[in-house]
Structure 1
């Protein structure tokens, strides 16, 4: 046994703590990657805003440590007090700026008490600066005021996010004059006071440039994200409206005619007229016609158009900020049944890219030859812990492909990619090159730029040589 407190045991404890620390960092990185892109951007911009005050605190704190080792140590006590105030201000400013950004984005939050405390700390810092400017060493007086940039970041940044720009500038102009009081009392000369006024106005503009612009960019991105959700809901509502209109056009008139014929047949039957049979036969004919028309409407909704789905996939992925490349030269060679089935594959694959990944690019490729068609969809940015191919959507695609003797496969790449491959009989003549041979030729750099059927976009097979081996 190793006695407690021996170097070997201490080394093991240090290794265990290091391992736990690395594990926590990795866990936080994975948690960050699990968020959507808009959430990651929000977290990044907020984090940059929170860190900004600390930069000045750390750099000036190190400068003060260097001055403490020098011969002239006048005012180091005041400098240390200012450093403590700056650290407290930076720590409290994280919560203040977070609530101010939330208020700017239209979220309900309370920050009045934190704002008052932050301005009180700013007033204390100004008093300390005035004393340092008159009683401290020359080097300290020149270096420490830079810390003021970190001290004013939290209160002024929060203020410019919760009030109008004109109000902010008016308050800051008045505040710059009020801030001169402790320096004037400390005996600072008039030219230095004038310079401090202009310096204060510069600080207010600098803080507004950082904080207000950050909040403005975040608000625009969240509005765009909300607009995308609204657009998706409007598309669903439009589809429902179209379906209801088609159902009304098909069944509305026929059901009214059936009701009228049935009512007339009942009246004729009560009178003992043989014409009641003719009216019921006519009602039966209209009902059968309605049934046939309803089947045609439903069949039209169930059958997807491959060219339309490819164009829609390009549009929706591009709108989501995903680079979309499509090569579907063989689409026109496929039978209508195969086109409809592969259209559903494209639709489901596009939905999976939007829901289950943070992709930056997506490539769709369709090849046919030797009586078979191969569709591959590849995207990067697979989220950690995503289910991949375990959803019910891919199971439904397998059932659709199985009807035509096709198969569906998926795999995860080591670099965060996801590949979806659908194979189905195409009915193409044997004169065409097999899909695998065509893809192998493209991977060697061959091929030329080809148009996407049903879309104006173009794709170079050489540029997307990996799309056969990478999918959605």
Structure 2
């Protein structure tokens, strides 16, 4: 029984890599959207000419707008990843508040003439409502539409320079052009970064779904292969048994000789079928060390665990290979099922006429209580039957399994086995 995590680090360590990336991306976007009130307060500090009544109303609208933006962004991310669509009422509230924040900003930060344009925060305050409102809609919009919106908002911001400034002058024209260009660059960068983050989140979950699908297909393929082998073994045999049984029954019913011989033939066929089935099952139950090492890399790679293998060239006798192959199989199964490992090292070597396999991973959760499962107990019994032993250890977030069995069929005299620290034969990328 696994203990329930109590601290943030325990919860975080038990999450998969896609879940961690999802949490990081979501909260990064939420925190960026939550910075809207801080931007508003900065604008109030920059331009002290604001009206007090307008400032209070504007800041209240900004707070409400921030809450609605975060809720809309969360709903948009859920819909982008295959969930329910964003409710129209929520989109309507977002649009009304975005326009209200921009309109009230014009009243909050007055401009008396062309000379006040350069020092006024009105134009940036207008962008606060519209820009953060569009950011909340990023999961629902394509990058092309976001660019068009950014350019349109930049043009509107530039044209707003002439609101309340009187006749057009070279100063207002220069300010309008400069403000439009700076707003366009800033908005395209903001919208693009938000969209890229959302797109990466979708790619990560798509890869995770593909990994799970491939694992299920591999299991289904193995089941089909096993059923096909059983059909090939049993199909013809059972047909022959049925025919001969009917023949024996017919001969016995008519009182004719030969029924006994037919039933003896049925018994012989059944015994042959039993031997064939045992051979098929033995082929599945026996373990090959080279195949298990290759399978370990494949399984760990599919689970997103970076894998390093040492000593594959080590010569191991046939009697020791099967026991060590079972150790590799059980050890890798424990890493995939019972840990949150990021890296795993598998080392094969020989010491003092013993074949040894060591499997070390870094996936022990903080505060986890060490327990010996039935799989390790069965592996220990299997190794003991072969004259070997199983040892496990755990420290500083790492878990190690050491399987040792006698090996008299190692390298010939004068041959050298591979050292323990051979270069990694393969390093699996994290998925």
Q: Does 1:390 align with 2:366?
A: no
**1:210 matched to 2:193:** yes
Report if aligned partners of 1:370, 1:430 keep a CA contact under 8 Å in 2. Answer: no
- Give distance in 2, aligned partners of 1:344 and 1:302: 10
Structure 2 equivalent of residue 463 of structure 1 = none
Tell me how far 1:139 sits from its aligned partner. 9.7
Q: Aligned-pair distance for 1:102?
A: 1.0
Matched, 1:61 2:41: yes
Q: Kindly tell me the number of residue pairs found equivalent between the two proteins.
A: 413
Structure-2 separation of matches of 1:261 and 1:311 = 46
Q: Render the CA deviation track for 1:69-121: whole Å, top value 9, x for unaligned.
A: xxx84226355654444344334322221111111111114343333333333
2:116 is aligned with 1:134: no
Distance 1:344 1:430, change over 3 A: closer
Deviations 1:365-388 (A, max 9, x none): 122233322211111132335565
Larger helix share, 1 or 2: 1
Shift in Å, 1:195: 4.8
Shift of 1:270: 2.5
1:156 is aligned to 134
Greater alpha carbon shift after TM alignment, 258-267 vs 27-36: 27-36
Higher normalized contact order (CA 8 Å, seq sep 6+, divided by chain length): 2
**C-alpha deviation, 1:259, in angstroms:** 1.0
Shift of the 381–232 alpha-carbon distance from structure 1 to 2, 3 Å rule, reads same
Aligned to 2:404: 423
Superimposed CA distance per residue, residues 153-178 of structure 1 (whole angstroms, 9 cap, x where no aligned partner) = 54212323213445555566666666
> What does residue 46 of structure 1 align with?
26
Note closer, same or farther for the CA distance 1:386–1:93 as it changes in structure 2 (3 Å cut). farther
Contact 2:36–2:66 (CA under 8 A) maintained in structure 1: no
> Which residue number corresponds to residue 73 of structure 2?
97
Correspondence for 1:275 among 242, 245, 258? 258
Q: Deviations over 1:117-136 (max 9, x none)?
A: 33333223322443426159
| Cα drift, residue 242 of structure 1 | 0.4
**1: CA distance, partners of 2:159 / 2:92:** 20
Cα distance, 1:383–1:76 mapped onto 2, change above 3 Å: farther
- What is the TM-score of this pair, normalised by structure 1? 0.76
- The aligned residue for residue 214 of structure 2 is 231
Which runs of no fewer than 5 residues in structure 2 stay unpaired? Answer: 1-5
Q: 1:245 aligns with which of 224, 228, 251?
A: 228
Q: Residue 298 of structure 2 aligns with which residue?
A: 315
Which secondary structure state, in structure 2, belongs to the residue aligned with residue 30 of structure 1?
Answer: helix
Which whole-Å CA distance do the structure 2 matches of 1:248 and 1:113 have between them?
A: 59
Q: Report the Cα offset of residue 222 of structure 1.
A: 0.2
Whole-Å Cα distance in 2 between the matches of residues 196 and 140 of structure 1?
10
Which SS does the other structure have where 1:427 is aligned?
coil
In terms of mean alpha carbon deviation, does 296-305 or 32-41 score higher? 32-41
Relative distance call for 1:114 and 1:181 in structure 2 (3 A) is farther
CA deviation string 1:382-432 (max 9, x = no partner) = 233556543332223223223223322222221x21111222222346999
Report 1:384-463 matches (<5 A).
384=366, 386=368, 388-414=370-396, 416-428=397-409, 449=423, 457=426
Cα–Cα, structure 1 residues 140 and 120, in superposed 2: closer, same or farther, change >3 Å?
A: farther
Shift in Å, 1:205: 2.2
Q: Distance in 2 between matches of 1:149 and 1:313?
A: 55
Instruction: Name the CA shift for 1:52/1:114 in 2 (closer, same or farther; >3 Å).
Output: same
Alignment of 1:75 onto 2:53 = no
> How far apart in 2 are the matches of 1:148 and 1:33?
43
CA RMSD of aligned residues (A): 3.5
